[in-house]
Structure 1
Amino acid sequence: MAFRRRRPNRGAIVHDGVHRAIERNFGIREESVMTEIRPDMHINGVSSTPGGHYRSASIDGVIKVEGALQVDGLARMNGVVTVKGDLKAHELEGDGKFKVQGRLSAGTARINGLADVAGSVDGEHMILKGMLSVKGDCAVERFEAEGGFEVGGLLNAGTVDIRLYGRGKAREIGGESIRVRKMARSAWKKIWEWMFPKWNPEMEVDVIEGDDVDLENTIARVVRGNRVVLGPGCRIGRVEYGSELVRHPGAKANEEVKTGA
């Protein structure tokens, strides 16, 4: 069983634009290259600013961006930031709390804190330490989460590595390698339990499908994979596996079906 997943839309990831114009005069070929230089955005304090297209962005404080924001390089956000539109960046660093009232597209996104995305997420690498809420789908090459998250649609990645301090939830999860772990006690886990005392560290999902699936503390209706490991705390309706199924004594599966030859 080989999982066939949808690839992220790389066309949405922002890069520097280059325009080439070729002219011929009297048999001589002349080529010119024109690159538009974007301004940098620097804003701090308590303020609002219009959206736009920038080379880089540094946003610090309680800030509202009144429109879509596109950044060719690094977008750094610290504090409480709201983007009233789509956010596109080659690289994103978010510390604190930020909200995107549209779609988020980033080559690499590092989120430390709380992030809320009203649309979908796509890119190459998502690194989360905190809480992420996505109303639509999340499609990246690598998804690493330490904390909790909620994806309203499909979480689709080549590698999914989840370490739960709180609740994880998605309609479906698809990937080549999928790993879910309940984290041991630590200073960060104590802070998480203080912030969200009623949130148990468990994953809730309708369907999980991948090549190599290794789960703990997961509740799912269907799990499909070539190699499937059900660790402690798993409650699964139906498991379909191609080559191997390993089930911990503390895991429950109502139905186990071998699909490989």
Structure 2
Amino acid sequence: MNKLHDINLDGIGSINGGGYRNIKMTGVGTILNDITCESIILEGVSKVIGNINCRDAAIEGTFNCKGSIEANDVIRINGYSKIDENIQGREVNVDGKLEVKGLLSGDKIKILFLGRNKIKEIGGEEIIILQEKKSLVTGLIMPNKLISESIEGDTIILENTDCDIVRGKNVTIKGICKIRKIEYEDEIHIDERSKVESIVKI
């Protein structure tokens, strides 16, 4: 069996798909196909034409993935990222602007968002979605909002989120949310500034 090796790209260039140990790409770089590795660090402007399968991932800057990101441990995203399919990790931490066309899932999910964000579906045990407080000036130019079709978890805390349906055991709806329907098991708290059309205890 061939031994996996590290790969580092600093500047402008591309990396072929395949199996690696650790990947670090800094600058302007492209991964040309599906990639499997232990850890991956992407800094700057990066693009993946395929899927990422790894132990953990750290992404900072502007990122575009044409497939999915699947990690056994932690995914950290800081900046602006667009994912054409799914994100899955044990723990997912996002700080910035995010668009996911599929499902974002993890045991623990924390999103501090900036600007207009869109994630089709979110699922996990603990889900915390909050507006980035340092974005007051940006918020006047482009409203801060996270839009999702469904959010499902055990403990859910939402702020400035528009969602069709929210399902959880313990649900906290903070300011300026618009929710069509909430289904909850144990406890629910709703800020008076938010609008919820239907609440069902299950």
TM > 0.5: yes
| Runs (5+) with no aligned partner, structure 2 | none
Per-residue deviation at 1:138?
Answer: 1.2
Per-residue deviation at 1:197?
Answer: 8.2
Structure 2 counterpart of 1:175: 124
Q: Provide closer, same or farther for how the CA distance between residues 87 and 198 of structure 1 changes in structure 2, counting only shifts above 3 A.
A: farther
Q: What's the C-alpha RMSD, in Å, of the aligned pairs? A: 1.8
Structure 1 counterpart of 2:197: 254
Q: Are the equivalent residues in 1 in contact too, given 2:173–2:194 (CA < 8 A)?
A: yes
Give the TM-score taking structure 2 as reference length.
0.93
Q: Deviations over 1:82-110 (max 9, x none)?
A: 11111222111111010000011121111
1:59 equivalent in alignment to 2:4: no
Q: Are the equivalent residues in 1 in contact too, given 2:85–2:100 (CA < 8 A)?
A: yes
Rounded to whole Å, the distance in 2 between the matches of 1:221 and 1:115 is: 27
Structure 2 counterpart of 1:75: 23
Q: Which residue, 146, 160, 164 being the options, matches 1:217? A: 160
Sequence identity (%): 26
| Runs (5+) with no aligned partner, structure 1 | 1-34, 39-54
Over alpha carbons, which structure has the higher Rg? 1
Q: Are the equivalent residues in 2 in contact too, given 1:69–1:83 (CA < 8 A)?
A: no
Give the TM-score taking structure 1 as reference length.
0.73
Rounded to whole Å, the distance in 1 between the matches of 2:43 and 2:122 is: 26
What SS does the aligned partner of 1:102 have? coil
Higher relative contact order (CA 8 A, sep 6+): 1
What SS does the aligned partner of 1:238 have? strand
> When the two structures are aligned, how many residues end up with a matched partner?
201
1:105 equivalent in alignment to 2:71: no
Q: Which residue, 141, 147, 158 being the options, matches 1:204? A: 147
Rounded to whole Å, the distance in 2 between the matches of 1:143 and 1:223 is: 19
Q: Which residue, 79, 82, 86 being the options, matches 1:130? A: 79
